[in-house]
Amino acid sequence: MRTMWMAAPGPSGAAHQQPTAVLVVENTETGSMLAAALQKKGWRVTLCHAGAHALDSVRTQPWDALVIGFRLLDMRGDAVLHAARAERPEMAARTLLLTTDAVGVAAAAAADCASLPTETPTDEIVSRITKLIQDATAL
């Protein structure tokens, strides 16, 4: 598990006390590239390669968004998604599932969770995360 952050404006562009915090749960190069892109925005990012570590972070730290890969080292991403939502129901609208197959897409749909293909360009994933946070804070 690796945490990176720099103080910067939040997703709305308005300055606030704490940087936007995103937990990225992905064990491929996509996770590393996404974490670097989010850090470049000045957001606090923790990258976990395993679901168990991610769930520990969900229990102990506040997050503005979760990005979860479907195929992890120790469990499927939808298991992480369901456990995280049980622990922190407010994260339901702030979670993005990255997947490469129909099983992952179906799992995201069944959980009423936003999803994108893992191979989506990093800037598009960052835009989607930003929108999820903005939409959730507007509620």
Sequential DSSP letters for 47-93 = EESSHHHHHHHHHHS--SEEEEESB-SSSBHHHHHHHHHHH-GGGGG
87 within a domain of the structure (yes/no):
yes
pLDDT at 5 over 60: no
Residue carrying the six token digits 């720099």: 6
* The two three-digit tokens of residue 45, written as one number: 């990012």
Q: Residue 44 sits in which domain range?
A: 19-138
Q: What is the pTM of this model?
A: 0.84
Contact 27, 1 (CB under 8 A): no
> ∠ at Cα 95 (93, 96), nearest 5°?
125
**pLDDT on residue 137:** 86
pLDDT band of residue 1 (cuts 50, 70, 90) is: low
Q: Is residue 68 part of a domain?
A: yes
* Residue 103 pLDDT exceeds 60: yes
Q: What is the percentage of the chain residues whose pLDDT exceeds 90?
A: 67
Number of domains in the chain: 1
Crossing angle of the two packed helices 102-110 and 77-87, in degrees rounded to 10: 20
Q: Which two tokens stand for residue 46?
A: 């923790």
Residue 4 within a domain: no
pLDDT tens digits for range 23-78? 999 998 999 999 999 999 999 999 999 999 999 999 999 999 999 999 999 999 99
CATH of the domain at 122: 3.40.50.2300
Rounded to whole angstroms, how far apart are CA atoms 69 and 26? 5
Query: Residue 7: pLDDT above 50?
Result: no
Whether 2 maps to a domain, the answer reads no
**Would 12 be classed as within a structural domain?**
no
Q: Is residue 43 part of a domain?
A: yes
- Contacts of 110-116 with CB under 8 Å at 24 or more apart are 110/78, 111/78, 111/81, 111/82, 111/85, 113/81
Query: Rounded mean pLDDT of 83-107?
Result: 89
Residue 12 has pLDDT above 60, yes or no: no
